[in-house]
Each structure stands twice: as structure tokens, then as C-alpha cells.
Chains A and B, each alone.
Chain A
Amino acid sequence: MTRKRRRLYFVLLGLLGLGAGTALMLTAFQDNIVFFFSPSEVAARHIAPQQRFRVGGLVETGSVVKNGENVSFAVTDMSATLKVQYQGLLPDLFREGQGIVAEGRMGPDGIFVAHEVLAKHDENYMPREVADALKKSGRWQEGEGKSTPHPTTATE
């Protein structure tokens, strides 16, 4: 029994140590693992003007202004809003109310200049008719899923 027992404890202890080490490392590198900041975090963190970063949130309803290839819109996390300027192709899912992630830099006028805009979609899957019926009855709104970025996720 002893050798097998010893190997069992060795493997269990090894996994425990490995898990603890990994957890510590992931916590330490939290900021690098997070894919984007919410507008509130952007406001709270003093990001250097030339630093590239990503901001994520919902496209504010009524904020999209298209001018040929130039688009300007606002990204919101419901508590803070950031204006974004972008030139280029937008993904098919881009619309008002949609979750998006934009990568770029802060401009001098406080407007975020994006080089790339990606659409985020939530975990809700349903046919058109079901979505319409749910919306009509007021039981659900687009962009309401739990994937909606909230300011607490990254600061925990």
C-alpha cells in the first residue's frame, strides 16, 4: 500500500501546488488578461495618451453618425460613456444597442480613436420570431444578456 499511497499523495499535492501557483499568477497578471476596459474604468484609470488599449461596451442608442467610411458613436456601460471615432469596415453585427470592443488610442479631445471595431455577441440564441415575440411582450430586450460589460468585472 505504501508506495501507491505515496504516489497518490504526491500527485494530489503536486496538483494542489500547481493550482495555487497558477491562481496566484493569473491574479497578478489580471490587467493583462482582461481583454478590454469598460468606459468607467477608462475614466478611472489614467491611461497615457499614446497607449493602445481596448474599450468595450454597448453602442449607445441614437449615437451612431455615419459619414461615408467615417463613423462616430458612443460606447456606454450604463454608468459612463466614451465617444469613439472610427474609419473603416464595421462587422455585420454592429448596430445601436450591440456590444462592441474597440481598439485604439485616446485622442487629445477626449475622443477615442479606434483602429479596429469588433462586435461582441451574447449567449442568447433564438429565432427571429421568438425574439420579436419576447420584445413585444416586454420580457426581454436586445443586449440585455449577462455578457453586457459591467464595471465590476475587471476590478474585483
Chain B
Amino acid sequence: MGASVGQGWNFDVHRFANPTQFMRIANAIFPWAAGLSALLFVVGLPIALVTSPADYQQGETVRIFYLHAPAAYMCMMVYGIMAVGSAAYLIWRHPMANLVARASAPLGAIFTALCLICGMLWGQPMWGTFWVWDARLTSTLILFFLYLGYIALGDAFEDPERGDKAAAILALVGSVNLPIIKFSVDWWNTLHQPSIMSKKGFSVDAGMLLPLFLMLGAFITFYIAVLILRLRSELLAAKIRNARLSQVAVNHAPQAAE
């Protein structure tokens, strides 16, 4: 820690990695995220279910799209956050980055499951099948297993640090799946339709983009709010563990002295 330049840089990173500082910001964000999420659900659900128009081709089943597509976006975004957090943990040993990844995993798994299930409920009436093994569907199922594997691996070791490291490595290795999911519909022909986003803009009517973005906003803010609650919980768990350890130390100390 000689050079002053390096010190300034370290100081900033350290501040951000410091759980107290981090949670101060997170706790300030929490009421906004929770309130906005509730508002977006209350406004978005009636538009998605009632007032938005039916599709010329798919009729009322297009309403499943307003859940399926945001869930699909979330499952990739949350995995991205998990992978970046895991990398920051492995490289710089940031404990907060690891906690964010750990707290995100169950949320990401739920969004992936919702994406798959809503997709199946949509595929059966429109395509004529619940499931096919095309590149898009298969790679998304692999993403779901990656989430489950990450959660299972994190708890598989007696030493929590070894579990964290193993799970972080899995999250990083699994991140190669993200571009595969994204571009599967362009690289190979699939039963799944291509992305609604292209250089020409969105291939969705404005009356349908509105419920789509409202639900996406509701999901994103829901994720942020629940993530902060889970982070509080994870930090408390760590405090409890430490308190237990020091208690054991205190209880044993007099006996050792006798």
C-alpha cells in the first residue's frame, strides 16, 4: 500500500465492498423498489389481462407473452448479475459480491421456471406442443439446471467458503450459456420465433409493448426489492454465525483456565 494513487483506488473499492456501506445504499433503495414494484403490478396486470388488444394471429394467448418474455429477460439478467458477482468474488474476494450472487440464485431459478412453464402453456395452444428440443428451449432448460446446480453446490461443503468458491466457478463456467440462449434463434433454425428486438426496432404493436414493459418493470423492481431483503437475511446469518462462534469461545475460556 505504498503509492497514493493505488491507495485511493483501493479505498473506493473497499468502501463499495464494505457491507455496512453497501446495505446503507440498499436499504435506501428498498422502499422505492418495493413501492414501484407494487405500483407496476397493480397498473400492469389489468392492462396485460383486460385492456390490451388480442393478437391478430394468436388471439388471447398473447397475454401469456407479457409474463413469458419478462421472465425470460429476468432469468438472463439475474444470471448475468450472478456471474459478475461470482467473478468479483473469485478475483477480488469481495464478500458482498458473493452475497449478491447467492441471494440472486433462488430468484433467478424462479424466473427461469416461470419462463419455461409460461412458455409451455403458450406453446401447447399455438405450436401444438408443450415442448420441443430446439436450441432455444434446450439452452433455457440448461440455464434452469445451472441455477439449481449453483444453489446445491453452495451448500454442499462443510466449509462455507469452499462451497462459495465452487458455486462461483460453476456460475462463471455456465455464463457461456447466456450468448447461446440469446442468439440460438439466429444461429440455428428453431421452432421458437426470433427476438422482437431488431435493428428496425420492436416488432410489437405499441398497445402490446405497454403491458410488456410494465410487467418487465414490475419484475425488475420485484427482483431488486426481494434481493435486498435476502441480503439483509444473509448478513444476519453471518452475524449469528459469528456470535455463536464467539459464544463458544467465551464458554470454553474459563474451563481452559481452570
Give which listed residue, B128, B175, B180, contacts A26 with CB less than 8 A.
B180
Which stretch from A42-50, A62-70, A105-113, A119-127 is at the chain B interface? Answer: A119-127
> Contact at A126–B126, with CB atoms within 8 Å?
no
| A-B contact list, 20 entries, CB within 8 Å | A4-B91, A11-B87, A14-B172, A18-B173, A18-B176, A26-B187, A38-B189, A56-B189, A91-B128, A92-B128, A93-B126, A118-B128, A121-B127, A123-B193, A126-B205, A127-B53, A127-B56, A128-B55, A130-B205, A154-B188
Residues of B within 8 A of A36 (CB): 189, 191
Whether A117 sits at the interface, judged by CB under 8 Å, is: yes
Whether A79 sits at the interface, judged by CB under 8 Å, is: no
> Contact at A119–B127, with CB atoms within 8 Å?
yes
> Contact at B56–A126, with CB atoms within 8 Å?
yes
Whether A139 sits at the interface, judged by CB under 8 Å, is: no
Whether A147 sits at the interface, judged by CB under 8 Å, is: yes
> Contact at A153–B208, with CB atoms within 8 Å?
no
A interface, CB within 8 angstroms of B:
1, 4, 7-8, 11, 14-15, 18-19, 22, 26, 30, 33-36, 38, 56, 89-94, 101, 116-132, 142, 145-147, 149, 153-154
Residues of B within 8 A of A142 (CB): 57
Size band of the B side of the interface?
35 or more
The 8 A CB mask of B51-75 against A (1 = contact, 0 = none) is 0011111100010010000000000
Chain B, residue nearest A7 (CB): B91
Which stretch from B16-24, B36-44, B196-204, B215-223 is at the chain A interface? Answer: B196-204
Chain B, residue nearest A142 (CB): B57
> Contact at B189–A153, with CB atoms within 8 Å?
yes
**Given A123-B203, A127-B55; A147-B194 close (CB under 8 Å):** yes
Chain A, residue nearest B134 (CB): A35
A119 to B62, CA, bound (A): 15
Residues of B within 8 A of A154 (CB): 188-189
Residues of B within 8 A of A93 (CB): 57-58, 126-128
